[in-house]
Amino acid sequence: MYSIEPVPLPHAGPSDIFLWRVDFVFDASLDNAAFVPLSDEERTRAGNFRRHEDALRFASVRVALREQLARYLGIAAHAVRFTSDANRRPHLADSNALDFNVSHAGAYGLIAMSPERRVGVDIEHHSDKFDWRSIAALTLDPSEAAWIERLDVEQQLAAFYDAWVAKEALVKTTGVGITRGLQHLTVLPRDSVEVMLRNQIPEDMNEIAARWIAAPEGYSACVAWSTKTFAR
């Protein structure tokens, strides 16, 4: 029987952050028993995707998320209930015991979870057909764009995606994100796995940290978290 077993991933962040990779099997059917934990609303959402691959990405990550949350909470996967806050960020409906975040792109998904702090995660697939300069003004600080331009051509795309995933993970951790746009976060140049916020740090990023994580070839990924833990 087909099953969805996420792969635990090592990372350089706090030990209370749990991170998994979900590997997609695109010839799987949504009628498979592995997708039984999905709610009716989730099945409807999956069915609204035009492409089977997109439906499978959503459904696979949601099942894997349900399974991990259920193990921590000590309940059945189908019993996990979700709701969303005013900014449409999902969270548990019946408990504040855990924060979580997900991302998916190409053949992989990521899940981050912590009982101690807010988390954010992002993964992106490098597309050779993508012109990073077409959205540089919306995603990069001018100094970052200039730094990328000085790299060898074959390194430029990976550097752009490194910046993109770091900024997305940071913004997803806040739950609100910076209102001025991603271009007002500066994370390049990159000189280690630690994401260094350079120049002036936006107020809503003062208590957020991040690390780039190992990703399959042709992908970039990052996990972020609040340095301040939950008040209990």
Per-residue pLDDT tens over the stretch 107-145: 999 999 999 999 999 999 999 899 999 999 999 999 999
Q: Taking 90 as the threshold, does the pLDDT of residue 181 lie above it?
A: no
Q: What is the pLDDT of residue 96?
A: 83
* Other beta carbons within 10 Å of 4: 22
In residues, how long is the chain?
232
Mean local confidence (pLDDT), 169-189? 87
Res 232 pLDDT > 70? no
Domains of the chain: 7-117 (3.90.470.20), 122-226 (3.90.470.20)
DSSP letters along 24-70, please?
--TT--TTSGGGTT--HHHHHHHHT-SSHHHHHHHHHHHHHHHHHHH
In contact, 221 and 215? CB cutoff 8 Å: yes
